[in-house]
Amino acid sequence: MSEKLNQLKEILGEVSDLNHAASVLSWDQNVNMPPMGGEARGQQMATLGKIAQEKFTNDQVGKLIDELKNQFPPASDEANLVRVTARNYDKAKRVPASFVAEQALATAKSFDAWVEAKGKSDFSIFQPHLEKMVELVQRYISFFPAGNHPYDTLLDDFEPGMKTSEVQEIFSALRPKQVDLLKKIKSAKQVKADFLHKKYNEKKVWDFSETIITQFGYDWKRGRQDKAPHPFETSFSVNDVRITNRFEADNPLATLFSAMHEAGHALYEQGVNPAYERTSLANGVSLAVHESQSRMWENLVGRSLPFWEYFFPQIKKLFPAQLAGVNVKSFYKAINKVEPTFIRVNADEATYNLHVMLRLELEIGMVDGTMKVKDLPEIWNAKMQEYLGITPPDNARGVLQDVHWSSGLIGYFSTYALGNLVSAQLWEKINKDIKGLDDQIRAGQFETLLGWLREKIHVHGRKYDPQDLVQKITGSKIDPTAYTRYLTRKYSDIYGL
């Protein structure tokens, strides 16, 4: 059996290499590529995607999987490697290599169109490309057996085993509680935050963001931070995990929280068992669990009072004029100010999930055909008014703000909110296991926290199904209760509710 397992691992390694090569090209497209390089880049990525698909879906892989099933103890790495590979193989086998190539080429063109459309706030530039993305997604769904909802097929790619109905049920329970909290906050005295939007030196903010994530434990020998239109994390191996960030002149300190967010993803990837490299067990188990890590470091750590009791003296020393007369408690309240905003990535914790729920509704509508792409700007604005009481002044701050649809990543958005819920579930367990965690954070010490996450989550890669992993650690599957408790406690203190 060891010989056959080695044969399977060799093929998986080659597929992994091809996919990571495509990821390098994608990273470069976001960070370095000149504007005219898009078409050639799309062809390059299409070729790599087609070769990887053909190699992975070869009949030899299926034969090896069949021969290796039930040959190892159920809890072993080997058994889980075969199980996850079998699942991935079954899905990949249904998708023609020619389709993978077509999708890669269309995605490259779509991304370039999105960048131009966002820059000009002109949806008409992006509309035909998004229509093509939706058409491709609908064709992708057609390769699979019909489920309870066509969106199930897409969601399963990002959150294995999760059904659309489950997400809708979770969101239905969460939405009224968040809306009720928002109403209470609106009736309270608003916190002052004007000093966050003064002019801050970009390089100083950027360098300070790197100081913070270095202290978190981000390993610069295995990573780097570069500029891109939209912050993201990508990994080419456990020893090459990169993040990107951006600087917004009108919201300069957002760079700090974007760095914490993407570093949360990167810490996860840097912590995966190196033995899983170039196999189906590499990388994080799901996007909800991945988001739980990024949102934890960004919000439960990075927007906490103990965190700024340590870091505030440093940022005040860097920006004495901007923060003149500001103390740590007022800074803490300001960075947690609740105010509906147009941009999801800059949204406060009390409104963030509503942005995600909006996008989920639009994605489902696009997939099942009840919403037309040409109508999205109007629908988007109407739902922003319904959910958050604001209407975007232009499409750049509305329907064009996110990069995901330009890459064909439809089925992704709900995992952002699910990640929030998981982060709170994990946080309650962490605080039971790590006594005096607030004092450690207050002292700028994150080693014990990172060690806990590495042991319980990171090292396992994709060995466990996501819901099983969450239940194994917290005692329940993904549930909104802990997050509701967290929000209520935090904002009751900030706003005196």
Tell which phi-psi region holds residue 283, choosing left (phi > 0), alpha (psi between -120 and 50) or beta: left
Of the chain, the percentage scoring pLDDT greater than 90 comes to 88
Report the pLDDT value the prediction gives residue 346, as an integer from 0 to 100. Answer: 82
Report the pLDDT value the prediction gives residue 412, as an integer from 0 to 100. Answer: 87
Cα–Cα distance for residue pair 45/33, rounded to 1 Å: 14
Paired tokens of 172: 């239905």
Report the pLDDT value the prediction gives residue 351, as an integer from 0 to 100. Answer: 94
Distance spanning both ends of the chain, measured CA to CA: 63
> DSSP letters of 4-52?
HHHHHHHHHHHHHHHHHHHHHHHHHHHHT--GGGHHHHHHHHHHHHHHH
Structural domains of the chain sorted by starting position, each given as residue range(s) with its CATH number in brackets: 2-145 (no CATH), 164-495 (1.10.1370.30)
> Which residues are marked as active site?
262
Report the pLDDT value the prediction gives residue 1, as an integer from 0 to 100. Answer: 66
DSSP 8-state code for residue 143 = T
pLDDT averaged over 10-residue windows placed end to end, the chain, 497 residues? 92 97 94 91 91 95 95 94 96 90 89 93 97 96 90 93 93 91 92 96 98 98 94 96 95 96 98 97 95 97 98 98 97 96 90 94 94 97 92 96 91 92 97 97 98 98 95 94 95 93
pTM, two decimal places: 0.90
Residue range 440-466, pLDDT digits in tens: 999 999 999 999 999 999 999 999 999
Report the pLDDT value the prediction gives residue 79, as an integer from 0 to 100. Answer: 96
Report the pLDDT value the prediction gives residue 104, as an integer from 0 to 100. Answer: 86
**Inter-CA distances, 2 with 15, 39, 78, 233, Å:** 20, 44, 10, 35
Residue range 70-102, pLDDT digits in tens: 899 999 999 999 999 999 999 999 989 899 889
Q: Could you give the count of Cα atoms lying within 13 Å of 397 in the half-sphere of its Cβ?
A: 12
Closest CA to 465 of 293, 289, 238, 235: 289
DSSP 8-state code for residue 227 = E
